[in-house]
Amino acid sequence: MPDTTAAAQRPEFHHSHSAHCESGVMSSLLRHYGLDISEPMAFGLASALAFAYVPIIRVGGFPLFAYRMPPGAIIKGLRKSLGVKMRLHHYRNEQAGMKALDDHLDSGRVVGLQSSVYWLPYFPPDMRFHFNAHNLIVFGRNEAGGYRISDPVFEHTVTCPAADLQKARFVKGVFAPRGLLYYPERMPTTIDYDHAVGKAVKKTAFRMLKAPLSFVGVRGIRTLARRLGGLPSSGTDPRYARLLVAQIIRMQEEIGTGGGGFRFMYASFLQEASDRIGQSHLSEAAAAMTEAGDAWRDFALAGARLCRDRGNSDYAGLAHKLFTCAEREESAYRMML
């Protein structure tokens, strides 16, 4: 297991444009420290794909909709599946947290951070919401005392003043980052892809098909479809119904998913995995997952039309599209078992 303390001799850091923050950060960090792993591979090996619709947890006044596992699951999942030893530090004291970051940069180490999206000034104003589990990489400082950042969801590297980065790292609330800073400490020398892929794929399929909860996995998609099909009911404000649909689509498309609520990224993982370990059933599953992603895009398109056009209240049609998503996903997961 090569140690990463000799970080100063590392080559210059390369930014790459990713769909999702956590998988993007992990892919870039691992590549920097010597393990060539794509974003979809990082996402898939961590078994990060999911679906959940949880009405009792409210996010900004709406039920929780999730197309992936909770924040931190990719970092944790890759530790297990690849055998990477990660170091994770939280800081109670803000100055200590900033100093630790500076010390790592001084020693030539590139690190990942968790942050809020709202307080990062380089985000476009309309994309700034109070989501506290964003991930980014800091790879240097500039002359003005700001930080050079590789934010995976941006096409190019950005810079951020120290005061703003500090605020973004130490916000409180749901998913409070508490200054989280992380980096790989020891890298594996070889990876048994046969084993890692087989395990990760089964885990995802099992969770999506067999979770004994009505709000998780394929069952969760169907539960949501039934809820939408019942709209607009007498007890629901028509305006709220539209905002609810908008919220689902935001979680699916806007919040860095690579399109179709991570389904295309996952299909890309299945394709890559199939090539690597030569198992044709995974390439069939990739094609099925692509169809599922297309169904989700179709749903989003119809949903946005409903949001825009006040005369349109075809919730039944929307529910039908969601049932199609559930059906296509189910067939993809069956191929993965």
The two three-digit tokens of residue 21, written as one number: 């923050």
158-160 vs 147-150, strand pairing mode: antiparallel
Give the range of 28-36, 142-150, 183-191, 256-264 binding other proteins by CB under 8 A: 256-264
- The binder of other proteins chosen from 186, 307, 320, 331 (CB under 8 A): 307
- Give 184 or 303: the residue with its C-beta nearer to other proteins: 303
Q: Least separation, in Å, of the C-beta of 44 and other proteins? A: 12
Q: Are 179 and 170 in contact (CB under 8 A)?
A: yes
The two three-digit tokens of residue 225, written as one number: 């479809």
φ, ψ of residue 58 in degrees (nearest 5): -100, 135
Q: Least separation, in Å, of the C-beta of 28 and other proteins? A: 12
Question: Residue 93, Cβ neighbours under 10 Å: how many?
Answer: 11
Give the Cα-Cα-Cα angle 284, 327, 47 (nearest 5 degrees): 60
- Give 75 or 171: the residue with its C-beta nearer to other proteins: 171
Q: Are 287 and 332 in contact (CB under 8 A)?
A: no
Residue 290 is a binding residue for other proteins (CB under 8 A): yes
- The binder of other proteins chosen from 171, 221, 225, 319 (CB under 8 A): 171
Give the range of 25-33, 78-86, 124-132, 218-226 binding other proteins by CB under 8 A: 124-132
- The binder of other proteins chosen from 89, 250, 276, 320 (CB under 8 A): 250
- Give 7 or 307: the residue with its C-beta nearer to other proteins: 307
Number of residues forming the site for other proteins (CB under 8 A): 53
Residue 27 is a binding residue for other proteins (CB under 8 A): no
Q: Least separation, in Å, of the C-beta of 253 and other proteins? A: 5
The two three-digit tokens of residue 182, written as one number: 């992380």
- Give 103 or 314: the residue with its C-beta nearer to other proteins: 314
Could you give the residue ranges of the DSSP H alpha helices within 173-237?
193-210, 217-229
Residue 60 is a binding residue for other proteins (CB under 8 A): yes
Residue 267 is a binding residue for other proteins (CB under 8 A): yes
Residue 23 is a binding residue for other proteins (CB under 8 A): no
Residue 213 is a binding residue for other proteins (CB under 8 A): no
Three-state SS for 295?
Answer: helix
- The binder of other proteins chosen from 6, 92, 95, 125 (CB under 8 A): 125
C-alpha distance from residue 336 to each of 137, 208, 260, 330 (Å): 33, 11, 19, 10
Which of 48, 9, 64, 50 lies closest to 32, judged by CA?
A: 9
DSSP β-bridge partners for residue 113? 136, 181
- The binder of other proteins chosen from 97, 293, 321, 335 (CB under 8 A): 293
- The binder of other proteins chosen from 167, 178, 202, 203 (CB under 8 A): 167
Q: Are 335 and 209 in contact (CB under 8 A)?
A: no
The two three-digit tokens of residue 260, written as one number: 């179709």
Give the Cα-Cα-Cα angle 238, 55, 293 (nearest 5 degrees): 85
Cα first-last separation, the chain: 32
Q: Least separation, in Å, of the C-beta of 244 and other proteins? A: 11
Three-state SS sequence of 125-142 = HHHCCCCCCEEEEEEEEC
- The binder of other proteins chosen from 130, 141, 178, 202 (CB under 8 A): 130
- The binder of other proteins chosen from 14, 17, 87, 99 (CB under 8 A): 17
- In the complex, the residues that contact other proteins under the rule CB under 8 A are 17-19, 39-40, 58, 60-61, 118-119, 124-130, 153-155, 167, 171-174, 242-243, 246-247, 249-250, 253-254, 256, 258-260, 264-265, 267-268, 271-272, 290, 293-294, 297, 300-301, 303-304, 307-308
